[in-house]
Amino acid sequence: MPGFGLPAETVAQWQPYAVHVDPPSRTPRLGQWAAVLVLALALLIAARPSTDSFEREVAIRRRKRPPQQRLELELRAFVDAPLKKLTVGGLQESSEESGLWSSDLLIATVGCTQKTCFVGAVGRWLRLPRWERHFDLYAMLGMHCIGVFLCYQSPGTFFEHFSPRLSHPHTVVLGMFACTSPVELLWLVSFASWLGRDLQKMVGRLGAIALYVACGLSSSLASAILRRSATGAGGLLGAFAYHTLAAPNASHNILGIALSPPKALLAQFIIMSWDVVTIPDQRLPLIICNGLPTALGAVMFFVRKGGVL
């Protein structure tokens, strides 16, 4: 358990269910956060480069000229026709070059050539780093490793930064990577070893990252609102739910037992919600924090299947 090697009275001081949470008097109003979020999203949407500009950007870079500075142009375009920016999933392929395409993702635009990919945001096209696909998965697993290390070596630091609180937005982001035991970390390795790679084939590298992060953040945000520590399992549960629907004929091995995808998902959910049995007063919050990302993963599958994403 977390706290191995520490006196019992010390461990009791940093058990995860009542440590570093906002008192009701300090919890900011959700309306204020919603207003800030809406404003930030509006600015990102307004400054997003259009798909029309990607082919021109590629041609400029191939001539070794400076990248386009399109911030002012995109803001003017948004003012003139705001509804044109509110598009998701629009795919534009080059008629002159095979493998050159771009697509709208609401707050950003993605474009790829046969050799590399770019993300368009805040009026510029940014080249994605050229690393192998599996590096994305190991990077996310590495964040969970940092959580385990801090939990054992510096519990106070761990709960200060990985216990989600609305008054400290960075803790909501880090909360999605909260991990309190090596056993839990081994369970999360499954995302990096096989599940994540399957998802990369299904939805692409950016899609797999977006799925994991969106589901993880939903769980962490729920933890902050319910004023409890994060489970850190949201990303994997959401990814597993998506994979269950996308590959219904797959076979999963849980603790040496071969299970169908729905049964495997149920087993994973029970394993990560075991505190429901050991900590009765946390039953409803824990089910919400694990159930929300699981449901979100399923919703993202049906949304993508319907052609929205």
Domains and CATH numbers, the chain: 37-127 (no CATH), 132-305 (1.20.1540)
227-262 pLDDT, tens digit each: 887 888 899 899 999 999 998 888 877 777 788 888
Q: By the 8 A CB rule, do 170 and 158 touch?
A: no
Instruction: Name the band, by pLDDT with cuts 50, 70 and 90, for residue 23.
Output: low
Q: How far apart are CA 295 and CA 215, in angstroms?
A: 9
Q: Which two three-digit tokens encode residue 108?
A: 């950003």
Distances (CA, A) of 285 to 13, 22, 222, 225: 21, 16, 8, 10
Q: Which secondary structure element, helix H or strand E, spans residue 204, and what is its range?
A: helix 196-226
Q: By the 8 A CB rule, do 83 and 67 touch?
A: no
Q: By the 8 A CB rule, do 143 and 217 touch?
A: no
Distances (CA, A) of 50 to 63, 96, 112: 21, 19, 14
156-184 pLDDT, tens digit each: 888 888 889 888 888 999 999 988 888 88
